[in-house]
């Protein structure tokens, strides 16, 4: 009888382990762009931070085998519509988002999408806009670039993630307008993600990249990229510490970029709350603070209902700015 009970207990334990293995294997984070940009960084940051919790025994569900899947298209629209349209819940799928995603929501570029269509899980940190050129570029500072655009706008081609109305487009448009230049003269190439934009610049297909500081951190260390300005209130620490802000160069433009993850609308509340709890623990850990810093992001932590409230307000604000530039559908 004792042997029978031991066998039953062993079988039960094996079943639990198999379920946990299957659960872990199905975990994924979707990058709604091509590899190499800040959306990619967001999923990798989530994976690394959650793995740290898993190693400490503090994470539920098991997170060791989270995979990363790329689903580019429409700067997030394809991933958004794919998950929202799912007939069944995908409780183990996270999707990266940024302030650019919220701007597109405000502009109607995700169709009839609303903030309430998905479940907002966690904001992992904040980023800032930046403007970069190749290291051998004749533009040594932001003033050089803006003067060149003013003189010969068709000769300065800017690579950016998305099309007119994207956050990368807005960064340049605001810089131009602050310098007394009509944003309509902006010549740009619409690309799918920051990684593609930097690749295009280093191939000399475009002369400038309008992107994010976290992306610049990935490329500036190699010595082939010069960051002309960061769009932050003050200089950023780390790799970009020597880079002046736009404000320092006489152009009063600041562009923060939230980075985080959401889940599909059919995810049961209990599963959603588990994820929110896991991210709460992750964001509070000293280990994650270091991981976030190494990734070139800065503290900004919101989860669950608080994040949803923030997103709603941000979309409203982006809508006002987009209307001002004639970008709302």
Domain of residue 149, CATH code: 3.40.190.10
State the total domains in the chain.
2
Round to whole Å and give the CA distance between 259 and 283: 13
**Boundary residue ending a domain (232, 255, 278):** 255
Residue 92's Cα: distance from chain center in Å? Answer: 19
Angle at 232 between CA 166 and CA 318, to 5 degrees: 35
The range of the structural domain enclosing residue 53 comes to 27-126+257-324
Question: Mind listing the pLDDT tens digit of every residue in the chain (329 residues)?
Answer: 444 444 444 433 333 333 344 344 478 999 998 888 888 999 999 999 988 776 565 555 455 578 999 998 876 888 998 888 877 777 889 999 999 899 999 999 888 899 999 999 999 999 999 999 999 999 999 999 999 999 999 999 999 988 889 999 999 999 999 999 999 999 999 988 788 899 999 999 999 999 999 889 888 777 889 999 999 999 998 889 999 999 999 999 999 999 999 999 999 999 999 999 999 999 999 999 999 998 889 999 999 999 999 999 999 999 999 999 888 76
Q: What is the CATH number of the domain that holds 100?
A: 3.40.190.150
- The residue written with tokens 């069944």 in the block is 88
What are the structure tokens assigned to 176, written together?
């131009």
Q: Are residues 194 and 148 in the same domain?
A: yes
Task: Report helix, strand or coil for 34.
Answer: coil
Q: Are residues 231 and 247 in the same domain?
A: yes
Q: Are 128 and 196 in contact (CB under 8 A)?
A: no
**Boundary residue ending a domain (255, 281, 300):** 255
List of E strands, the chain: 28-31, 67-70, 93-98, 119-134, 157-161, 187-191, 208-212, 225-231, 256-263, 302-303
Look at residue 316 and tell me if it is in a domain: yes
Q: Are residues 138 and 197 in the same domain?
A: yes
**What confidence score (pLDDT) does residue 11 get?**
37
């Amino acid at each position: 009888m004792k042997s029978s009970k031991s066998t039953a207990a062993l079988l039960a334990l094996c079943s639990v382990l198999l379920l946990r293995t299957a659960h872990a294997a199905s975990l994924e984070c979707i990058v709604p762009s091509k590899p190499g940009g800040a959306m990619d960084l967001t999923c990798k940051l989530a994976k690394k931070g959650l793995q740290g919790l898993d190693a400490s025994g503090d994470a539920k569900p098991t997170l060791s085998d989270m995979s990363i899947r790329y689903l580019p298209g429409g700067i997030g629209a394809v991933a958004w519509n794919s998950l929202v349209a799912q007939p069944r819940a995908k409780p183990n799928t996270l999707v990266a988002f940024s302030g650019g995603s919220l701007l597109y929501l405000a502009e109607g570029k995700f169709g009839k999408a609303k903030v309430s269509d998905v479940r907002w899980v966690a904001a992992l940190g904040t980023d800032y806009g930046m403007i970069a050129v190749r290291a051998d570029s004749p533009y040594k500072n932001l003033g050089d670039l803006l003067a060149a655009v003013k003189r010969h706008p068709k000769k300065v081609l800017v690579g950016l993630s998305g099309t007119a109305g994207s956050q990368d487009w807005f960064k340049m448009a605001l810089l131009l307008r602050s310098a007394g230049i009509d944003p309509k003269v902006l010549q740009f190439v619409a690309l799918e993600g920051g990684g593609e934009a930097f690749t295009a610049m280093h191939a000399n297909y475009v002369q400038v990249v309008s992107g994010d500081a976290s992306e610049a951190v990935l490329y500036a260390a190699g010595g082939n990229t010069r960051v002309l300005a960061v769009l932050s209130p003050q200089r950023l620490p780390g790799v970009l510490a020597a880079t002046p802000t736009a404000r320092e160069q006489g152009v009063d433009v600041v562009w923060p970029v939230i980075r985080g993850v959401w889940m599909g609308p059919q995810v049961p509340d209990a599963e959603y709350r588990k994820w929110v709890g896991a991210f709460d623990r992750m964001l509070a850990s000293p280990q994650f603070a270091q991981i976030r810093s190494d990734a070139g992001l800065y503290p900004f932590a919101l989860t669950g209902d608080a994040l949803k409230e923030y997103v709603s307000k941000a979309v409203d604000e982006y809508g006002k700015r987009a209307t001002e530039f004639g970008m709302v559908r």
